[in-house]
Chain A
Amino acid sequence: MSSRRSSRSRQSGSSRISDDQISDLVTKLQHLIPELRRRRSDKVSASKVLQETCNYIRNLHREVDDLSDRLSELLASTDDDSAEAAIIRSLLNY
Chain B
Amino acid sequence: MVDSLFPSIETTVDDASPESRRKRRRISETAKETAESSEINQESLKRWRTNRVQQIYASKLVEALRRVRQRSNDGGKITSAAREIRDTADRVLAASARGTTRWSRAVLATRVRASLKKHKKAKLTGARKPRKDTAAERKRSKLPAVERKLKILGRLVPGCRKVTVPNLLDEATDYIAALEMQVRAMESLAELLAAAAPRSMLTRP
Binding site for B on A (CB under 8 A): 5-6, 8-9, 12, 17, 21-22, 24-25, 28-29, 32-33, 46-47, 50-51, 53-54, 56-58, 60-61, 63-65, 67-72, 74-79, 81, 84-85, 87-89, 91-94
Contacts of B180 in A (CB 8 A): 60
Taken together as a complex, chains A and B put the C-alpha atoms of A84 and B44 apart, in Å, by 34
Contact B149 A93 (CB under 8 A): no
Contact A64 B179 (CB under 8 A): yes
Contact among A9, A60, A72, A88 for B179, CB-based, below 8 A: A60
Contact A57 B157 (CB under 8 A): yes
Contacts of B38 in A (CB 8 A): 28
| Count of B interface residues, CB-CB < 8 Å | 56
Please name the residue on chain A nearest to B29 by beta carbon: A8
Contact A22 B197 (CB under 8 A): no
Q: Is the interface of B mostly helix, strand, loop or mixed?
A: helix
Told that A50-B150, A57-B172, A68-B82 touch, could you supply 4 new A-B pairs with CB distance under 8 A? A64-B86, A72-B84, A75-B81, A92-B59
Contact A57 B82 (CB under 8 A): no
Contact B196 A78 (CB under 8 A): yes
Of B7-15, B109-117, B123-131, B159-167, the stretch lying at the interface with chain A is B159-167
Contact B187 A67 (CB under 8 A): yes
Contacts of A12 in B (CB 8 A): 164-165
Contacts of A78 in B (CB 8 A): 193, 196-197, 200
Taken together as a complex, chains A and B put the C-alpha atoms of A74 and B59 apart, in Å, by 16
Contact A22 B165 (CB under 8 A): yes
Contacts of B153 in A (CB 8 A): 50, 53-54, 57
Contact B166 A25 (CB under 8 A): yes
Please name the residue on chain A nearest to B176 by beta carbon: A32
Please name the residue on chain A nearest to B69 by beta carbon: A79
Contact B166 A24 (CB under 8 A): yes
Report the minimum CB–CB distance from B149 to chain A (whole Å).
Answer: 4
Taken together as a complex, chains A and B put the C-alpha atoms of A67 and B84 apart, in Å, by 12
Contact A64 B89 (CB under 8 A): yes
Once A57-B157, A75-B65 are accepted as A-B contacts, the answer to whether A88 and B193 lie under 8 Å apart by CB is yes
Taken together as a complex, chains A and B put the C-alpha atoms of A84 and B200 apart, in Å, by 12
Please name the residue on chain B nearest to A80 by beta carbon: B200
Contact B149 A50 (CB under 8 A): yes
Contact B59 A77 (CB under 8 A): no
Contact B186 A64 (CB under 8 A): yes
Pick from B33, B82, B177 the residue with the most CB of A within 10 Å.
B82
Contacts of B182 in A (CB 8 A): 60, 64
Taken together as a complex, chains A and B put the C-alpha atoms of A77 and B15 apart, in Å, by 72
Once A24-B34, A93-B59 are accepted as A-B contacts, the answer to whether A57 and B190 lie under 8 Å apart by CB is no
Once A67-B187, A75-B69, A76-B81 are accepted as A-B contacts, the answer to whether A84 and B196 lie under 8 Å apart by CB is yes
